[in-house]
Structure formats: C-alpha cells, structure tokens
Structure 1
C-alpha cells in the first residue's frame, strides 16, 4: 500500500483524505455492508466514495456546510445510493433536516475539521447526549473533533461502527485523557492506526485512524498499529485497555517495547523538569543573551555566547540553567534533534526550552540516550500537535530509556 500526500487544507479547517487512507479505514471497518452510513463533514467525499466500492448495498448520507464541497456531486455521480445535504453537521436539528432518527445509523465515517468552532449553547446538549460533557474542565473548550465524535455517537445505533481520522492530541494528549477513558469504558475501541507525519499537506502533525463500536462491552486489549513511511502496515501491539487513558499511539508503545521492561523512565532519575519563562518580547529587551530553540547546534553543548557568569545571569527573573542541566526544545519541528547540556556557567532560557535536571550518577547516561537515535525516536513519539509540534512535561518524564 502506498500513501500519498493529500490535497491541501481549506479555510474551514479540513484536511482532505487521500483515497488510500480512506480505503484503509473502510477495510478496518469490515466488508459487510451496513444498511445506512453517514459522513458528517464529508468534504470532497473521499471516505464514502471508497466505502461505496466495498459496501455495495449501503445507503449513504453525506453532510457538509460548504455548498461547493466535492461531496455535493455524489448523488449525480453515484446514483440513488447517495443523499447529500448542505447543512451544518453540528446543527441541533440535524436529525430533522436529514429525516433520520438519532440512534439508527449502522455506520459512520468522519474526518473532522481541525478547528475550534465558536461555542453554541446546543453544543453542550450534543456532548451531554453522547455522554461526553464531562471530559474537559470546560465544555466550551471543546474542539470540533470532539463535537463531531459526539454528534456521530448520537446518530449511531448500539453496535454501530464509527470510523474516524483524529489528530494526535486526541490520541496522546494529556488534555484528552478523560475522553479516552470514557470511550474505552462505554464503547469498544477496536483498532487505532497511526498514520505517517505529513500525510495531510500543510501540517506536520500525526493523525490516526480509530475504529469504535458503540455501546459494545469493551475488551481487555486494543489493537494498535502504524502505517510506516513506505506505506506498509506494521504488525500490531495488543495494548491493555487500561493504558488507553495514558495514550493510544503505536510509536510511543513501540519505543517502550524496544527499551524493555527493565528500563528506567526519565521520571525515575529526574530531580526536576522545568520550562523556561523568558518570552520573545522579554528576550528582545534583555541586556544579555537568552538561549532559544534556534540556538541549538551539533556540538551537544550550549554555544559559548550564551554561557554567562553567575552575576550576569542574575538579571533574569526566571529560570536559569546551571552546569549539568540538560536542555531540550519544548516546541518546534525536529524538536527531537535539539538537545544539549550545560557544561559550565549559567544559561538564561526562553519559554520554548526545558531544563532537565537528573541525579548526577545518571546525568551522562540520560544525555547520551537523549542524543542517540533511540532517544530521538522517543522524543519524536512523545511529541504531538496539529501545527507546531510540542512535548509536555509529563510526556518527557514518562519516556522510557534504554541505558
């Protein structure tokens, strides 16, 4: 199987699905034709076009808010098996608009837009009816992908299957731990497949295929896999369902498997992991240099122009790194390659840098690991993000090391 880059995204936050990705998603949902399948936010119609080649007797209903979306042409090109509606997929009265009762669809496919819509009161009702109103501290912070998951669950019958393409934050981000825990508890996540970075043109973010069965008793394990850069689907890992709350991405657990069960986490040897707090505006006004992500070089040490004497570094009101601290980029493309150590002096840090302080007995081992190929892979798999990639403190501390 070969994966090609998709079309570019559009102003509505959509990243169009390449036919090969759509084919893999449909394949994982099974060959048996559901009676009725929905695609809310259908875009160019790639998902249902592919599904219709496998599910020969299925009726498809597609919805998109854009009257110029490619899915508008589906009834003309695909015949009576397609019905398309120009409508807001997150409308409160969508069921009436489609003349389809909630809880009656046999299957749903969805590649949600990656935006945060302006909050509307009825969004809370959608989340509540889907059992997802509690998964964020504030419902009004719900991104569109969460709202689309909820809307699809409302339309699905018990036992119906939902095939999704979701961003890495939903799959691995700490913010969505409660969502993952709720989905595993109330439904059955059958499979999660990690897609290669840059699969969608215009973003470096990872995305994942998720196959879920509504209201089906969960199993003890979730099958997770990855599409490699050459397009080959990896062997699977049977992930214990209890791990889903932490994260569901294949790369993270593959790194853990490679390190072995007797490996240490960074947390187990860390004294502290602290984020710098000198903003870009403050950097420009400082009388002394501030170390930022653009200043890493291949030497593995801090460039001498950023190494200060103690009295010079005292002008900083925030974090100052000291000898022995390991510095890592917190955000940015290729953050996994930006690691260095403070060998002498003091270094003022921007808010895009982590200072990792570990027990002296493990300092060189940790630094050598983080600058090795295995360490770079671990940092890359721990990072996520739709636009600029980033790594959180928790994700950094949870990295397993093969020392």
Structure 2
C-alpha cells in the first residue's frame, strides 16, 4: 500500500508550532503523525500538554516521554473522530501534515465530509479527492470551539481554482489566521509547493488574513474576498505593486487542441513548449492550407507556453506565416504589437507568470492568469 509519507523536517515543524496562537494546550493531536516531528515541536512549546498521535504505520515514530499517546489509526477511518472524542474529548490544538495522495470517494469519505460540513463546498461527482481534505475534515470534527489547527497543505488547496469553494468555507465559517509559504521542495520526494496554515475553530470577526513566507516575517494582510481567490503570498505580493490596464476588448485568447505527440506524428510544422526559448523570439513560417478546426498561430499573433515546470510564460511573436500549435501553447491574437512586445521582450511577463502560475508540480496558466499578467503597466 502506498502511504505517501512525506515526513515533516523539524525546521518546518518548529515554524508551524511557533506561529500558532494558542498560549496553552491541554491536548495536542496529530492524525497521521509519522515520525512525530510536529508533536515533538509541540512538546517544546506546551510542555505539559497530552500528546496524541495516530498513524497507519505505528512503528514510524521515535518520540518518547511523558504524556504521550500514540495509537494505530487510519486517517480515513469514518469512526476515527468518534474514537478520539470518546478517549480524549474535544481537542484544543491539532497539528497536521497529511499524506499527499488521492483517495477514492466512497460512502465512508462522503460521511466524513458531511459530518464536517465540507461536502457541499466541494465540486460535485468527484471520483477521487486529495487526502488532505479528509484529514482536514477529521481534525475539524474533534476540535473544540475556539480550538486551533495548524496544518501543512499543498498549493492546490491554497490557490487552485477547483478548491475555491473549500477556501470560501474555511474563510467564512472558520478563521484563517496565517498562511506561510514554505520553500520549494520543502519535503523530500515531494514536488508540491506547501504552506503552513493556522485556523481557529470559530466564525471570523473581520480579521485580515496574514500571509508570510518562510524567510520573511513581514506579513501581507488581505481581505476575505482576496483570500477566497488565492491564499499564496507571492501572488498577492506581486499583484499589490502592479498597475492595471485592461486588455483590448477585441483581443482573442485560445489554446491548441492537439498534444505534441499527435502533432509529431503528422506532417505539418508546429510549435510546442520546447520550441520557445528563455528570451523572447520573433518567428517566421511559411503559409499552408490547414483543415477546418485546426488551431494555428499566424502573422501578428503572440504565442505563450502555458504549462510546464520550467517553461511557463515563455513567449514568441509570429512575424510571418502560419503554424499549428500544441495544447500546451496559448495564442494571443489582436493584441497591439507595439504595446505588448516590450512586456514579453523585457521578461516582465515571464517573471510575473512565474509568481502567479497555478499547480503543484508542473505549473500551468489559465486564461484568467494570462489576462491578469497582460494587464500590467510595468514595462
């Protein structure tokens, strides 16, 4: 069985615990405690607290000492919250670094989500769901009123469009105190960008949400509305200093509809992400007759790499001819050449999209993100 175990380095355990608001704790819970790094950090702050850990792999932890209660438990068990409540009562502080994997949505998972009131804020008819959401639900089910949860979560939940409803629930029904953006590849074997998030189990009272980074304690403060859209520091920090200039109404943005593999097997010339360089290019092609429905870039268009771990935001201008584009390329048509060429040529577009791109491993740009990057006046 693949357990998706990414153990929490002590540096990030300490950071999470240090930024929690609770000045005292009777019980600290970690569902999926792994090597118990978070509980160890919790002991350093709340020395008299009862430390409660559950893990599907009970031989992992090496923590010893007083007030320690480690048990064998599956974080996906629909009866786990009842077992915890029956044994320890409501918990005042929970910590979590859930496994980064997807789980099948079955009746047990639906039951957990409904009990935690998360079911209605998620997309309908999902066959799989990130385990992190189930672990969030399990913690919310046992947390006392005014209790606090500190969790390490992936970028998909923090900024992904799919989970906007979940963010809205957590922001409007709970209180998100801080969101700390951790360094890239903070966990061995994990590509996902991660965040340390502090929740309080109560309705918000119009507090601003604080966004920080691992190496910067100067917080940005954002509104609930801005947080529902995205909760990542670099997005809001970059956005804050950008002047806005709407793109022209007549402009057209579209993407290719064939994979590079499909295009490679054909005879037509085409553009894929691998054809775009670090620096802005001016490209010339011949003229060919394409079948109806073929997605092409033609003279006067800009083309942008929209997906990839290291190539998002790379761009070129088609100065002559017409060429087919892969589904990893976005075409920008009817944009004023004199106005927008400097944005690409100076690298400003590439720089901006590197901060606001979505995704945990391979990054990607939605049409809305591309439009937002094009609206800057900073060139």
Q: For 1:144, which of 120, 131, 135 is the aligned residue?
A: 131
Contact 1:269–1:358 (8 Å) recurs in 2? no
Measure the CA separation in 1 of the matches of 2:279 and 2:232. Answer: 32
Contact 2:307–2:365 (8 Å) recurs in 1? yes
Q: 1:316 to 1:347 in 2, by over 3 A?
A: farther
Measure the CA separation in 2 of the matches of 1:298 and 1:221. Answer: 38
In the alignment, what sits opposite 2:5? 14
Measure the CA separation in 2 of the matches of 1:270 and 1:101. Answer: 64
In the alignment, what sits opposite 1:333? 309
What's the CA shift for 1:268?
A: 5.7
What's the CA shift for 1:48?
A: 1.2
Contact 2:104–2:129 (8 Å) recurs in 1? no
String of CA shifts for 1:171-223, please: whole Å, max 9, x gaps: 11111111111111101111111112122233443211111101233424111
Measure the CA separation in 2 of the matches of 1:176 and 1:102. Answer: 32
Q: For 1:113, which of 99, 105, 115 is the aligned residue?
A: 99
Q: 1:380 to 1:345 in 2, by over 3 A?
A: same
Which runs of no fewer than 5 residues in structure 2 stay unpaired? Answer: none
Contact 1:34–1:58 (8 Å) recurs in 2? yes
In the alignment, what sits opposite 2:226? 243
Measure the CA separation in 1 of the matches of 2:274 and 2:295. Answer: 18
Q: 1:270 to 1:188 in 2, by over 3 A?
A: farther
Contact 1:31–1:54 (8 Å) recurs in 2? no
Q: 1:123 to 1:115 in 2, by over 3 A?
A: same
Which runs of no fewer than 5 residues in structure 1 stay unpaired? Answer: 1-9
CA RMSD of aligned residues (A): 2.3
Measure the CA separation in 2 of the matches of 1:391 and 1:102. Answer: 46
What's the CA shift for 1:386?
A: 2.5
What's the CA shift for 1:97?
A: 4.1
In the alignment, what sits opposite 1:289? 269
Q: 1:387 to 1:376 in 2, by over 3 A?
A: same
Of the structure 1 ranges 251-260 and 93-102, higher mean CA displacement relative to structure 2 is found in 93-102
String of CA shifts for 1:267-317, please: whole Å, max 9, x gaps: 56672221211123412321112211111124522655xx24132xx1474
Contact 1:159–1:214 (8 Å) recurs in 2? yes
What's the CA shift for 1:169?
A: 1.1
Q: 1:299 to 1:238 in 2, by over 3 A?
A: closer
- With normalisation by structure 1, the TM-score equals 0.86
Measure the CA separation in 1 of the matches of 2:338 and 2:167. Answer: 36
What's the CA shift for 1:371?
A: 4.6
1:368 aligned onto 2:359? no
1:92 aligned onto 2:78? yes
Contact 1:252–1:381 (8 Å) recurs in 2? yes
What's the CA shift for 1:120?
A: 2.6
Of the structure 1 ranges 203-212 and 152-161, higher mean CA displacement relative to structure 2 is found in 203-212
In the alignment, what sits opposite 1:280? 260
1:124 aligned onto 2:90? no
Of the structure 1 ranges 157-166 and 136-145, higher mean CA displacement relative to structure 2 is found in 136-145
Contact 2:176–2:198 (8 Å) recurs in 1? yes
In the alignment, what sits opposite 2:163? 176
Contact 2:212–2:220 (8 Å) recurs in 1? yes
Specify which structure has the higher proportion of strand: 2
Q: 1:99 to 1:344 in 2, by over 3 A?
A: same
What's the CA shift for 1:373?
A: 4.6
Specify which structure has the higher proportion of helix: 1
Contact 1:106–1:161 (8 Å) recurs in 2? yes
In the alignment, what sits opposite 2:52? 61
String of CA shifts for 1:141-179, please: whole Å, max 9, x gaps: 421111111111111011111111111111111111111
| Count of matched residue positions in the alignment of Structure 1 and Structure 2 | 376
Alignment map for 1:192-203 (pairs within 5 Å): 192-203=179-190
Measure the CA separation in 1 of the matches of 2:176 and 2:280. Answer: 42
Measure the CA separation in 1 of the matches of 2:250 and 2:213. Answer: 31
What's the CA shift for 1:243?
A: 1.2
1:208 aligned onto 2:188? no
Measure the CA separation in 1 of the matches of 2:136 and 2:89. Answer: 14
- With normalisation by structure 2, the TM-score equals 0.91
Contact 1:382–1:396 (8 Å) recurs in 2? no
Q: 1:135 to 1:395 in 2, by over 3 A?
A: farther
